[in-house]
Amino acid sequence: MIKKIALFSAIAILLMSGCSQKKPAPDANSFAADTVTIEDGGVSSQNRYNGSTDGMRSIYFNFGEYDISYDMQGTVAFNAKVLREKLGGKRVKLEGNCDEFGTDEYNYALGLKRAKAVKDALQAKGIRSGQIVIVSFGESNPQCHEASDSCYARNRRVDLHLLR
């Protein structure tokens, strides 16, 4: 009986520990100063990394966050203006993206939360909910593949695309 309990315990410990390696945890302080900004709704040097189409601009997020920062409010307003001009009877797809830190499940959920935050902001600016589709790519659609803070920042975004 004791041998069965010991064997069961050993198997349970092995199953719980798993065999996969986890990605290194990022140092949250190293990301604090590294954000992608679009100044005053205009085009900055960082806007060359835009993943959005149809004249819209990507919305970038801080590490692990899904609330739209003050710096990105002008970009949301700019995108709402473009949508009011171009949307008509079409729909817009919001694609939530993340950097490579965290599990696939975590990043998928974070991408959805980011897309939902942009959807809510666009609705507040007059875009109808029924014209907005949200999806999450998690970490699977990076714009940048380098191991650097600026690259990670470019991957934490929501891209906007008109659906034809």
- The predicted model scores a pTM of 0.71
55 inside domain:
yes
> In this predicted model, what pLDDT tens digit does every residue of 62-84 receive, in sequence order?
999 999 999 999 999 999 999 99
Count of domains observed in the chain: 1
CATH number of the domain encompassing residue 70: 3.30.1330.60
Q: What is the Cα–Cα distance from 10 to 21, expressed in whole angstroms?
A: 20
Q: What pairing do the DSSP bridges indicate for beta strands 132-138 and 157-163?
A: unpaired
Any domain includes 106: yes
pLDDT in tens, the chain (164 residues): 666 565 556 565 545 555 444 444 444 333 333 334 433 333 343 455 788 888 999 999 999 999 999 999 999 999 999 999 999 899 999 999 999 999 999 999 999 999 999 999 999 999 999 999 999 999 998 888 898 998 899 999 999 999 98
Q: With respect to residue 16, please indicate whether it lies within any of the assigned structural domains.
A: no
- Domain holding 92, by residue range, is 35-163
Q: Contact 61/112 with Cβ under 8 angstroms? A: no
Is residue 86 assigned to a domain?
Answer: yes
* 25 found inside a domain: no
Q: Is residue 4 domain-resident?
A: no
- Nearest one of 80, 20, 13 to 52, comparing CA atoms: 80
How far apart, in whole angstroms, are the C-alpha atoms of residue 14 and residue 24? 21
Q: Tell whether 5 is covered by a domain.
A: no
What per-residue confidence (pLDDT) applies to 52?
85
Q: How far is CA 134 from CA 25, 92, 103, 150, 158, in A?
A: 28, 9, 20, 25, 10
